[in-house]
Amino acid sequence: MVLALALALAASAAGAQAFPSKQVTIIVGVAPGGTLDALSRLVAAGLAPILKQPVVVENVTGAGGLLGFQRLMKSEPDGHTLNFSNMSLLIIRHMQPKGGFDPLADLAPVTGVATVPMVMAVSNASGIKDLPALMAHMRRNPGKVNLGSGGPGTTAHLAEALFLNMSKADAQLVQYRGSGPALTDLMSGVIDGMIDQTVTLMPLHTGKRAHAIAVSTPRRIAQMPDVPTFAEGGLPEFDLRIWNGLLAPKGTPRPVLERLSAAVSQVIDGAEYKDRVEKQLASEIPPAAERGPDAFRKLLEKDAARVAELIKAIGLKPAN
């Protein structure tokens, strides 16, 4: 048994030394154009010169991100196929209970890369100017307001269900295959509003293509100083900031995970990434002490319990 263990450890070390030996693919479970896609491509672009291999993003959409994880779980656990996700991965098992996916058991966390605030925005055509006005409009017209999101089980879906629960109002939750199509319909007035991350909604607000009415941070953010917080709008308990990170299939050798984590740290500490994420996207980069496989796993375990409590509290139902 000792010999077998030694051989296994030697094989693991050899595999890590050989990594990467070919193209690295990062699976993103949403359509191009949304928050996950934007951040994943920033990370991929930075990783390629460090790993000295091509790093490509592959969008595998469907079932609230489940199809992307199923694709990941079928891949070799050697670090060459990864997944870029956010807190939505902890929602999937509740929304897709028949999908056979357990995020804590089926994934090997690599590291977190950014924490992004949520923003509520309304279409210019809606005529809504602030959060209290939106809530009052929904209460007067139950079920008449349409709120879009990037699909069932996404963080936006959870955020909007939580918003309706807290505001004691009713609206139609329209599910899209990714936030990109939802953003298009928000700008054209097909839907009345949506909650998503600053990565996608801040440019629409500053470009006057939609109107942001609330941010989920405790204080207003410098990049959108004219937008009140949810607390200022009457919902002090709405606090839902979303982490984003990189994951591998279970069984990926520890040295490979550490190699990937170190490479990602180089990317997110770089001036170009920090400028884009902190200044342009109003997001936070995790400090060094909160990076790596162990820290990321602790975050997943903590938020898995939080998500389960939220889903129970707001009565979010499975998609199948």
Pairing status of strand 55-59 against strand 242-249: unpaired
| All residues at 6 or more sequence positions from 294 whose CB lies less than 8 Å from its CB, including other chains | none
pLDDT of residue 154: 82
Buried b (16+ CB within 10 A) or exposed e, 52-81: ebebebebbbebbbbbbbbbbbebebbbbb
pLDDT of residue 33: 76
The H-assigned helical ranges of 98-220 are 103-106, 131-140, 155-167, 179-188, 198-206
pLDDT of residue 16: 59
CA distance 318 to 62: 15
pLDDT of residue 13: 53
pLDDT of residue 4: 47
Is the Cβ–Cβ distance between 160 and 192 less than 8 Å?
A: no
Q: How far is CA 28 from CA 34, 143, 187, 294, 296, in A?
A: 10, 32, 24, 22, 18
CA dihedral 156, 158, 163, 165 (to 10 degrees): 160
Cβ neighbours, 10 Å, residue 165: 14
Tokens encoding 94:
């509740």
Tokens encoding 252:
């990926």
Cβ neighbours, 10 Å, residue 40: 27
Q: In which element (H, E) is residue 35 found? A: helix 35-51
CA distance 211 to 202: 9
Residue written as token pair 């996404």: 154
pLDDT of residue 111: 98
Which residue type sits at 90?
L
Give the chain's residues under pLDDT 50. Answer: 1-10, 12
CA distance 232 to 205: 19
pLDDT of residue 6: 45
